Structure 1
Amino acid sequence: MSTLARTSAATEAVAAPLRSQTDVVVHGIKEMITTGRLAAGSRLPIEKDLADELGVSRSSLREGVRALALMGVLETRQGDGTYVTSLDASLLLAPMGFVVDLQTPADSAHLQAVRRVLETESAALAAQHFDVAAVEAATAVLASVEPLLDHPDEADHDTIMEADIAFHRIIAHASGNPALEALIESLASRTIRGRMWRAISVEGAVRSTHREHLAILSALALHDSERARLRMATHLLEVEDYIVTHPIAGAGSSARDAQ
Structure 2
Amino acid sequence: MPSDQAEGATSQTDVVVNGIKRMIFDGTLGPGQQLPVEADLARELGVSRGPLREGVRALSYLGVLETRQGAGTFVTALDSSLLLAPMSFLVDLHHPGGSRALHQVRRLLETEAAALAARHADEAALAAAAEALEAVSGPGGVDPREFVEADIHFHQVIAQAAGNPVLAAMVEAFAGRTVRARVWRAIADEQAIARTVEEHRAILAALRAHDPDRARLRMAHHLLAVEDFLAERG
Report the TM-score, using the length of structure 2 for normalisation: 0.91
The corresponding residue for 2:136 is: 145
Give matches, 1:223-234, under 5 Å: 223-234=210-221
Q: Name the CA distance, whole Å, in 2 between partners of 1:147 and 1:186.
A: 29
Secondary structure in 2 matching 1:147: coil
Any stretches of 5+ residues in structure 1 without a counterpart? 1-13, 248-259
Q: Deviations over 1:154-177 (max 9, x none)?
A: xx1111011001000000000000
Q: Which moved more, 1:56-65 or 1:194-203?
A: 56-65
The answer to whether the aligner puts 1:51 opposite 2:42 as a matched pair is yes
Matched residues in 2 for 1:179 and 1:96: separation?
12
Secondary structure of the 1:36 match is: coil
The aligned residue for residue 175 of structure 1 is 162
Matched, 1:103 2:112: no
Residue 63 of structure 2 is matched in structure 1 by: 72
In structure 2, the partner of 1:38 is 29
**Separation (CA, whole Å) in 1 of partners of 2:45 and 2:98:** 41
- Out of 61, 76, 80, the position equivalent to 1:85 is 76
**Residues 189-225 of structure 1: CA deviation (Å, up to 9, x unaligned):** 1111111111111120110011000110111111111
Per-residue displacement from partner, 1:129-159 (whole Å, max 9, x unpaired)? 22211121111111111237x544xxx1111
Indicate the larger mover: 133-142 or 183-192. Answer: 133-142
Percent identity between the aligned chains?
58
Aligned equivalents of 1:26, 1:115: Cα separation in 2: 31
Structure 1 runs (4+) deviating above 4 angstroms are none
Deviation, structure 1 residue 19: 5.9
SS at match of 2:34: coil
CA distance in 1 between partners of 2:231 and 2:41 (Å): 51
Q: Tell me which amino acid in the other structure corresponds to 2:212.
A: S
Q: Which of 168, 173, 188 does residue 186 from structure 1 map onto?
A: 173
**Amino acid aligned to 1:217:** L
Paired residues in the alignment total 228
What RMSD over aligned residues (CA atoms) do the two structures have, in Å?
1.8
Gapped runs of 5+ residues in structure 2?
Answer: none
Match in the other structure for 1:94 = 85
Partner of 2:20: 29
Partner of residue 193, structure 2? 206
Give the Cα separation in 2 of the matches to 1:170 and 1:151.
24
Rg comparison, structure with higher value: 1
Amino acid at match of 1:104: H
Instruction: Tell me what 1:196 maps to.
Output: 183
- Name the amino acid aligned to 2:192: A
